[in-house]
């Protein structure tokens, strides 16, 4: 396995000032780092457009109700305010498009500004444009909104049966989907052991450092230039063009530097539609720079599920059948609520359980819509399965590692078609488990735990999670575009349809192409994130960029070299053309890439790669100590063993793993968006939505195994979401182990001190 | 999150600032709470008077009558203890306030005047029986800490007054401070500050104060009575009186009337208060024992 750069924990300071996109100078690991860490990054808010107006949105303070009146007349008095628009003032009134084919959106309109009803607290009701954000907010203060309140719905299980309907068409269950065949009740009745669990996946706020940002600039010819912090510019282009009725070439979407996305910046949101339309109609540049208060409450949330699991096994712990029922809270509108389907698909986990059935209900509630957030449906599945597996171990008095061993899908069984509809490509689950146990010093900690228990000492617990992830996306999103061009100067441009929002593409892709072409790295630049420069793209999410985007570039480079050989054969009259160290050779003659391009025209290779999902996997193990009196959880040791297939850049993947681990820790112990019975979110800022800080991150040991992806030439699977999947079950299982609280229904995330204290008392 | 318009002045002398307060301006020192409220438009002062240029407010003075702290003393200044149990209590409390950037700007007196029921300094002020000096354009008065805190964000300070000084009397004895919060940057859920006046190895007076246990900082007098006469430190033979400390904790829980929050019910905070008071007393006991140790430096020890 090749090592691309020094280890992440060994970098000295840099010495030389350099330009953007030159190779990383001595001591810096990535090309992006100099500008991003010295304030020279250029984000949407840094794009200075003379005469640009700022938008502020008036947002519903009521979670659910009939919108009676929006009075914007007060704005006319406010100095610097250009205007205010409600649904009644926008003609046409744009609608948020449905993502993917879905019967759930039939008869259910998501207007960009609330028209008949408000369906979540924070929903945009009016837009105010001002000379700057201060005056726009002054204007927003003057807008009066009248709503006739209706009952709020905040729990998906309750909402499923409620008489209060969010839409006039149909009930609140927007869709019900089955994965696998229903399991006969007989199987559970006859099984020697059945364990059951009910789990809550709390809502999470994705909390990228940069909230959403959107800038629309009319081009003076009836078209629009858009800058947006986004993960999928080609999709945004397509959906905006359709909504605004613009021709393909009348719209250009660019993504500048982006301060993180984590899944929540890949859709076409109502605010984007309003800003774009106002810019076009007023023929003035308009931008919306979301602030943190909006981002926490009115942007999309992640997770949000009620789960019921039943697991049947025989006396030796062999799993016979599993049933997973999910009530997924998709929020006030169904248009982008597809993530919970991933939970159903993933419900088999790492085990060869012969019968697995998952039923997922997508339920509307009067809360902010839920959408993708790092892990997007797979953390939910891993949690449901892995907590229940530990309950089974506890019930049988079996070591949880041993129970897993008895049930893993064996290496010779791949490719393995799961009962819930996945075809796992490759895996060695037991190997990952063994490595995790040895890295943790599992036996040592079990002995320490026994000693403490014997003397009534510290509450120590050990928890495991064996997970199988899915990377690359599926169902129409498995394509990615790559192209490589050589100019007469010898400069190489790699074009990718992927879209970095912090995934190091600017460093990794040029390095990869340079290696394949055997030229110095500084010769290659990356072109992405611009729909005018890159003709096709799907984007960056689902850990797909190396697996699919990298493969597309690899194949595009192959195509370029093939084209080069063809031209050289023609020029030299010889069939024996070789390539090495940046040059073609035929007999006595040689052409560098640049020389060939100078002589025969730009040299190019292109690929639109259609891939299949890949299945990274791993095992996480945690040791915790719980303060029984106060409920504090201290993570004494955390081990992450991840198998991403072939790792192309270990430093980058290390960073991805650590970042996802921090977010997994956040879900397990700290984060959550609670709603009260009126549908009001009970957080307003980062003082109440607690994120783990650097001081909360425990000592983490990362190891890896490598089971190559048989379906790509790189051998790479996807990386980046594993920590979100592996950490929560490992931590919660560890706390359950520490307190003897496996069957405590109140042990739910986030494991706040109060939760742990109550679980400790309940288990006594 | 942008504030509405406001006027702004930055005088360099105190009388000018007091005159501005008298005309309705709001004082600005660290701004770590006020500015946030202004950005949320929850507070809308029409004018701010910036105190940061008034040199006479920027002092921490140790003297015979204890420690005098001016309005511009930052939280961070207390992280390095001045000598004695007083300094140690202030230091232990200071490192629990928010996180370093907030501590660099936020001020102790600003926190006292803001009177968030979960803030550390108000509880510490109660435990140390601080005296708070309020100045207006026309008069100056001093209010004991016990009479200063009147409710959530409510104090004896009138809008035209500035909290200009806090005086902490010297403490002969031992102190402890323990806080419970969910992350290293968040607000306290509950905190306990303990100041024991110790003479001849016995507690002469105990003051136990809690933050986050009610709508204002409170003293747990029932628990305090309980501790008078108790032996602490080396005189106690090295072992602390666990029963007395536990009983004090129970009394503290009974006295608490906490405001519930999303991840901290009243019942939970009561339980936490009991544990923290017990642990703060253990810390104070150890503090006394450390003081009673004979000096162990190289010159004397050989």
Per-residue pLDDT of A209-231, as tens digits, reads: 999 999 999 999 999 999 999 99
Q: Do A752 and B182 make contact, defined as CB atoms within 8 angstroms?
A: yes
With cut-offs at 50, 70 and 90, classify the pLDDT of residue A4. very low
Judge whether A368 and A299 are in contact, CB under 8 Å: yes
The residue of chain B with its CA nearest to that of A629 is B275
Q: Do A752 and B41 make contact, defined as CB atoms within 8 angstroms?
A: no
Per-residue pLDDT at B64: 87
Q: What angle do CA B190, B192, B198 make, to 5 degrees?
A: 175
The residue of chain A with its CA nearest to that of B179 is A630
Rounded to the nearest angstrom, the minimum Cα separation between B68 and chain A is 31
Between positions 603 and 632 of A, the ones with CB within 8 A of B are: 629-630, 632
Hey, which bits of A30-105 come out as E strands?
A: 53-59, 65-71, 81-86
Per-residue pLDDT at A206: 96
Pairing relation of β-strands B154-155 and B162-168? Answer: unpaired
Dump pLDDT digits (tens) for A661-695: 999 999 999 999 999 999 999 999 999 999 999 99
The residue of chain B with its CA nearest to that of A751 is B263
Tell me: pLDDT of A18 over 70: no
Dump pLDDT digits (tens) for A99-134: 876 789 999 999 999 999 999 999 999 999 999 999
Q: Out of B99, B187, B264, whose CB is closest to A754?
A: B264
Per-residue pLDDT at B82: 82
Q: How many CB atoms lie within 10 A of CB A39?
A: 7
Structure tokens at A614: 């890949």
Q: How many whole angstroms separate alpha carbon B189 and alpha carbon A688?
A: 12
Q: Do B268 and A753 make contact, defined as CB atoms within 8 angstroms?
A: yes
Tell me: pLDDT of B38 over 80: yes
- Chains A and B form CB pairs within 8 A to the count of 62
Q: How many whole angstroms separate alpha carbon A248 and alpha carbon A237?
A: 8
Element (H, E) at A624: strand A617-626
> Which residues of chain B are within 8 Å of residue A690 when distances are taken between CB atoms?
182-183, 186
Judge whether A229 and A44 are in contact, CB under 8 Å: yes
Per-residue pLDDT at B238: 59
In Å, how far are B9, B51, B52, B57, B156 from B12, measured between CA atoms? 10, 8, 8, 10, 26
Contact residues for B302 (Cβ-Cβ < 8 A; gap 6+): none
Dump pLDDT digits (tens) for B160-216: 999 999 999 999 999 999 999 999 999 999 999 999 999 988 999 999 999 999 999
A552-563 burial by CB neighbour count: b if 16+ within 10 A, else e? bbbbbbebbbeb
Rounded to the nearest angstrom, the minimum Cα separation between B294 and chain A is 33
Q: Which comes out higher in pLDDT, residue A195 or A763?
A: A195
Judge whether A288 and A44 are in contact, CB under 8 Å: no
**Selected residue of A55, A133, A630, A675 to mutate for chain B interface (largest B Cβ count, 10 A):** A630
Between positions 260 and 279 of B, the ones with CB within 8 A of A are: 262-265, 268, 271-272, 275
Rounded to the nearest angstrom, the minimum Cα separation between B21 and chain A is 25
Tell me: pLDDT of A467 over 80: yes
The residue count of chain B comes to: 302
Contact residues for A19 (Cβ-Cβ < 8 A; gap 6+): none
Rounded to the nearest angstrom, the minimum Cα separation between B61 and chain A is 33
Tell me: pLDDT of A2 over 60: no
Q: How many CB atoms lie within 10 A of CB A361?
A: 23
**Residue located via tokens 């002045």:** B9
HEC secondary structure over chain B: CCCCCCEEECCCCHHHHHHHHHCCCEEECCCCCHHHHHHCCCCCCCEEEECCCCHHHCCEEEECCEEEEECCCEHHHHCCCCCHHHHHHHHHHHCCCCCHHHHHHCEHHHHHHHCCCCCHHHHHHHHCCCEEEEECCCCEEEEEHHHHEEECCEECCCCCCEEEEEEECCCCEEEEEEEECCCCCCCCCEEEEEEEEEECCEEEEEEEEEECCCCCCEECHHHHHHHCCCECHHHHCCCCCHHHHHHHHHHHHHHCCCCCECCECHHHHHHHHHHHHHHHHHHHHHHHHHHHCCCCCHHHHC
Q: Do B40 and A133 make contact, defined as CB atoms within 8 angstroms?
A: no
The residue of chain B with its CA nearest to that of A666 is B183
> Which residues of chain A are within 8 Å of residue B3 when distances are taken between CB atoms?
134
Rounded to the nearest angstrom, the minimum Cα separation between A27 and chain B is 28
In Å, how far are A288, A551, A608, A734, B262 from A564, measured between CA atoms? 47, 20, 19, 58, 65
Q: Do B272 and A684 make contact, defined as CB atoms within 8 angstroms?
A: no
Between positions 663 and 722 of A, the ones with CB within 8 A of B are: 670, 674, 682-685, 687-688, 690-693, 695-696
Per-residue pLDDT at A476: 79
With cut-offs at 50, 70 and 90, classify the pLDDT of residue A5. very low
ipTM score: 0.93
Between positions 78 and 107 of B, the ones with CB within 8 A of A are: 99
Dump pLDDT digits (tens) for A593-632: 999 999 999 999 999 999 999 999 999 999 999 999 999 9
Task: Work out the widest C-alpha separation in chain A, in whole angstroms.
Answer: 86
With cut-offs at 50, 70 and 90, classify the pLDDT of residue A7. very low
Per-residue pLDDT at A27: 55
Fold agreement (B55-169, B173-291): no
Pairing relation of β-strands B7-9 and B47-50? Answer: parallel
β-sheet with A355-364: strand ranges across? A173-179, A355-364, A319-331, A302-313, A193-204
Per-residue pLDDT at A339: 94
Element (H, E) at A442: helix A442-454
Q: What is the mean pLDDT of residues B72-87?
A: 93
**Residue located via tokens 């048989």:** A710
Exposure on the CB side of residue A152, measured as CA atoms within 13 A: 18
With cut-offs at 50, 70 and 90, classify the pLDDT of residue A755. very high
> Coil, helix or strand for A437?
helix
With cut-offs at 50, 70 and 90, classify the pLDDT of residue B293. confident
Q: What angle do CA B214, B220, B224 make, to 5 degrees?
A: 170
**Selected residue of B6, B186, B188, B250 to mutate for chain A interface (largest A Cβ count, 10 A):** B186
Long-range Cβ pairs for the range B221-230 (8 Å, 24+) = B221/B255, B222/B251, B222/B254, B222/B255, B223/B247, B223/B248, B223/B249, B223/B251, B223/B252, B223/B255, B223/B277, B226/B251, B227/B196, B227/B203, B227/B281, B228/B203, B228/B204, B229/B202, B229/B203, B230/B202, B230/B203
Q: Do B99 and A690 make contact, defined as CB atoms within 8 angstroms?
A: no
Judge whether A155 and A676 are in contact, CB under 8 Å: no
Q: How many whole angstroms separate alpha carbon B286 and alpha carbon B288?
A: 5
Per-residue pLDDT at B101: 95
**What crossing angle do the helices spanning A593-600 and A551-572 adopt, rounded to 10°?**
60
**Residue located via tokens 């609140």:** A172
Judge whether A171 and A177 are in contact, CB under 8 Å: no
Per-residue pLDDT at A101: 67
The residue of chain B with its CA nearest to that of A670 is B182
Rounded to the nearest angstrom, the minimum Cα separation between B40 and chain A is 9
Contact residues for A515 (Cβ-Cβ < 8 A; gap 6+): none
Dump pLDDT digits (tens) for A243-293: 999 999 999 999 999 999 999 999 999 999 999 999 999 999 999 999 999
Average model confidence (pLDDT) across chain B: 94
Q: How many whole angstroms separate alpha carbon A511 and alpha carbon A517?
A: 10
Dump pLDDT digits (tens) for A44-76: 999 999 999 999 999 999 999 999 999 999 999
Q: What is the mean pLDDT of residues A396-406?
A: 98
Q: Among A727, A710, A7, A2, which residue's Cα sits nearest to residue A374?
A: A727
Q: Do A629 and B183 make contact, defined as CB atoms within 8 angstroms?
A: no
Residues of chain A above pLDDT 70, percent = 96
> Which residues of chain B are within 8 Å of residue A696 when distances are taken between CB atoms?
183-184
**Right CATH number for B55-169 from 3.30.70.260, 3.40.190.10, 1.10.760.10, 3.30.465.10?**
3.30.465.10
Structure tokens at A15: 């010495």
Q: Do A293 and B5 make contact, defined as CB atoms within 8 angstroms?
A: no
The residue of chain B with its CA nearest to that of A676 is B262
Dump pLDDT digits (tens) for A424-441: 999 999 999 999 999 999
> Could you tell me the sign of the dihedral formed by the alpha carbons of A543, A546, A547, A548, in that order?
positive
Chain-centre distance for alpha carbon A452: 40
Taking the domains of chain B in order of start, what are their residue ranges?
7-50, 55-169, 173-291
Element (H, E) at A37: helix A31-37
Average model confidence (pLDDT) across chain A: 94
Task: Work out the widest C-alpha separation in chain B, in whole angstroms.
Answer: 69
Tell me: pLDDT of A9 over 50: no
For residue B254, report the phi and psi dihedrals to the nearest 5 degrees. -65, -35
Q: What is the mean pLDDT of residues A498-519?
A: 95
**Selected residue of B263, B273, B282 to mutate for chain A interface (largest A Cβ count, 10 A):** B263
Q: Among A504, A547, A508, which residue's Cα sits nearest to residue A655?
A: A504
User: Span B173-291: which CATH code?
Assistant: 3.30.390.50
DSSP state, A471? B
Q: Among A518, A20, A501, A520, which residue's Cα sits nearest to residue A232?
A: A501
Per-residue pLDDT at B234: 76
For residue A643, report the phi and psi dihedrals to the nearest 5 degrees. -120, 105
Judge whether B271 and A757 are in contact, CB under 8 Å: yes
* A402 and chain B in contact, CB less than 8 A: no
* A750 and chain B in contact, CB less than 8 A: yes
* A752 and chain B in contact, CB less than 8 A: yes
Per-residue pLDDT at A475: 77
Tell me: pLDDT of A3 over 60: no
Q: How many whole angstroms separate alpha carbon A754 and alpha carbon B13?
A: 49
Element (H, E) at A557: helix A551-572
Tell me: pLDDT of A12 over 90: no
User: Span B7-50: which CATH code?
Assistant: 3.30.43
Hey, which bits of A60-143 come out as E strands?
A: 65-71, 81-86, 117-118, 124-130
Element (H, E) at A145: strand A144-149
């Amino acid at each position: 396995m090749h090592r691309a750069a020094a280890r992440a924990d060994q970098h000295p300071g840099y010495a030389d000032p350099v330009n953007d996109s030159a190779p990383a100078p001595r001591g810096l690991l990535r090309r992006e780092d100099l500008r991003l860490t010295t304030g020279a990054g250029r984000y949407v808010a840094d794009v200075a457009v003379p005469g640009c107006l700022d938008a502020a949105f008036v947002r519903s303070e009521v979670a659910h109700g009939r919108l009676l009146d929006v009075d914007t007349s007060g704005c006319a008095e406010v100095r610097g305010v250009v205007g205010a628009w409600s649904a009644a003032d926008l003609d046409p009134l744009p609608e948020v498009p449905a993502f993917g084919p879905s019967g759930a959106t039939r008869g259910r309109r998501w207007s960009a500004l609330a028209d008949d009803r408000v369906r979540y607290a924070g929903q945009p009701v009016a837009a105010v444009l001002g000379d700057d954000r201060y005056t726009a907010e002054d204007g927003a203060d003057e807008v009066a909104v009248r709503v006739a309140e209706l009952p709020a719905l905040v729990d998906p299980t309750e909402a499923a049966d409620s008489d209060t309907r969010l839409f006039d068409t149909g009930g609140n269950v927007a869709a019900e989907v089955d994965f696998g065949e229903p399991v006969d009740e007989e199987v559970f009745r006859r099984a020697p052991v059945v364990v059951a669990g009910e789990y809550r996946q709390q809502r999470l706020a994705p909390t990228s450092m940069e909230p959403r940002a959107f800038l629309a600039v009319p081009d003076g010819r009836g078209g629009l230039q858009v800058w947006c912090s986004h993960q999928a510019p080609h999709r945004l282009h397509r959906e905006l063009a359709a909504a605004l009725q613009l021709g393909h070439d009348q719209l250009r979407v660019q993504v500048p530097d982006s301060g993180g996305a984590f899944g929540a910046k890949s859709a076409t949101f109502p605010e984007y539609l309003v800003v774009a339309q106002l810019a076009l109609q007023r023929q003035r540049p308009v931008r919306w720079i979301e602030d943190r208060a909006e981002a926490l409450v009115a942007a999309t949330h992640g997770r949000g599920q009620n789960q019921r699991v039943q697991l049947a096994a025989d006396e030796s712990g062999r799993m016979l059948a599993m049933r997973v029922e999910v009530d997924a809270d998709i929020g006030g509108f169904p248009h982008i609520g597809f993530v919970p389907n991933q939970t159903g698909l993933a419900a088999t986990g790492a085990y060869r359980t012969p019968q697995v059935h998952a039923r997922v209900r997508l339920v509307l509630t009067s809360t902010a819509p839920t959408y993708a957030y790092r892990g997007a449906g797979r953390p939910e599945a891993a949690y449901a399965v892995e907590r229940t597996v530990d309950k089974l171990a506890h019930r049988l008095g079996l070591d949880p590692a041993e129970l897993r061993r008895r049930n893993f899908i064996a290496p010779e069984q791949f490719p393995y078609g799961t009962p819930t509809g996945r075809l796992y490509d490759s895996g060695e689950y037991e190997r990952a488990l063994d490595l995790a146990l040895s890295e943790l010093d599992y036996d040592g900690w079990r002995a320490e735990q026994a000693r403490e228990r014997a003397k009534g000492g510290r509450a120590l617990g050990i928890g495991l999670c064996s997970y199988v992830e899915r990377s690359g996306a599926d169902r129409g999103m498995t394509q990615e575009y790559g192209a490589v061009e050589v100019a007469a100067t010898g400069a190489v441009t790699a074009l990718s349809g992927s879209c970095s929002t912090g995934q190091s593409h600017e460093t990794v892709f040029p390095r990869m192409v340079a290696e394949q072409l055997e030229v110095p790295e500084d010769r290659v630049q990356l072109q992405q994130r611009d729909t005018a420069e890159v003709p096709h793209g799907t984007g960056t999410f689902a850990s797909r960029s190396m697996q699919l985007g990298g493969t597309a570039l690899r194949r595009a480079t192959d195509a370029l070299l093939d084209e080069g050989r063809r031209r050289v054969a023609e020029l030299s009259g010889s069939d024996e053309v070789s390539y090495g160290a940046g040059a073609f050779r035929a007999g006595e003659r040689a052409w560098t890439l640049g020389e060939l391009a100078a002589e025969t025209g730009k040299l190019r290779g292109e690929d639109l790669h259609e891939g299949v999902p890949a299945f990274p996997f791993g095992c996480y193990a945690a040791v915790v100590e719980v303060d029984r009196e106060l409920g504090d959880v201290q993570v004494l040791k955390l081990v992450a063993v991840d198998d991403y297939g072939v790792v192309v850049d270990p430093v980058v993947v290390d960073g991805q793993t650590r970042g996802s681990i921090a977010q997994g820790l956040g879900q397990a112990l700290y984060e959550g968006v609670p709603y009260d019975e009126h549908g009001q979110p009970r957080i307003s800022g980062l003082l109440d939505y607690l994120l783990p800080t650097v001081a909360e991150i425990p000592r983490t040991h990362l190891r890896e195994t490598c089971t190559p992806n048989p379906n790509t030439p790189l051998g790479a699977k996807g990386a980046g979401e594993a920590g979100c999947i592996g950490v929560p079950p490992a931590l919660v299982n560890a706390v359950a182990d520490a307190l003897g609280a496996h069957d405590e229904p109140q042990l739910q995330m986030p494991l706040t001190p109060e939760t742990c204290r109550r679980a400790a008392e309940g288990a006594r | 999150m942008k504030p509405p318009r406001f006027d702004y002045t930055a005088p360099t002398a105190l009388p000018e600032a007091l005159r501005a307060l008298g005309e309705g301006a709001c004082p600005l020192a660290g701004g770590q709470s006020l500015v946030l409220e202004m950005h949320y438009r929850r507070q809308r002062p029409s004018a701010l008077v910036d105190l940061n240029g008034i040199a006479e407010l920027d002092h921490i003075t140790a003297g015979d009558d204890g420690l005098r702290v001016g309005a511009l003393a930052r939280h961070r200044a207390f992280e390095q203890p001045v000598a004695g149990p007083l300094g140690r209590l202030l230091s232990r409390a200071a490192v629990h306030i928010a996180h370093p950037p907030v501590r660099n700007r936020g001020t102790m007196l600003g926190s006292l005047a803001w009177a968030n029921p979960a803030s550390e300094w108000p509880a510490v002020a109660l435990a140390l029986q601080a005296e708070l000096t309020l100045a207006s354009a026309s008069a100056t008065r001093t209010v004991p800490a016990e009479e200063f805190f009147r409710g959530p964000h409510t104090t004896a300070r009138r809008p035209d007054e500035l909290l200009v000084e806090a005086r902490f009397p010297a403490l002969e004895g031992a102190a402890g401070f323990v806080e419970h919060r969910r992350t290293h940057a968040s607000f306290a859920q509950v905190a306990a500050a303990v100041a024991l006046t110790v003479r001849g190895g016995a507690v002469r007076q105990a003051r136990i104060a809690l933050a986050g246990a009610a709508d204002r900082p409170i003293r747990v007098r029932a628990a305090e009575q309980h501790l008078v006469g108790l032996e602490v430190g080396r005189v106690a033979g090295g072992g602390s009186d666990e029963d007395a400390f536990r009983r004090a904790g129970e009394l503290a829980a009974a006295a608490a009337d906490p405001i519930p929050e999303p991840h901290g019910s009243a019942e939970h905070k009561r339980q936490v208060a009991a544990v923290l008071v017990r642990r703060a007393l253990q810390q104070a006991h150890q503090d006394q024992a450390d003081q009673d140790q004979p000096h162990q430096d190289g010159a004397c020890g050989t």
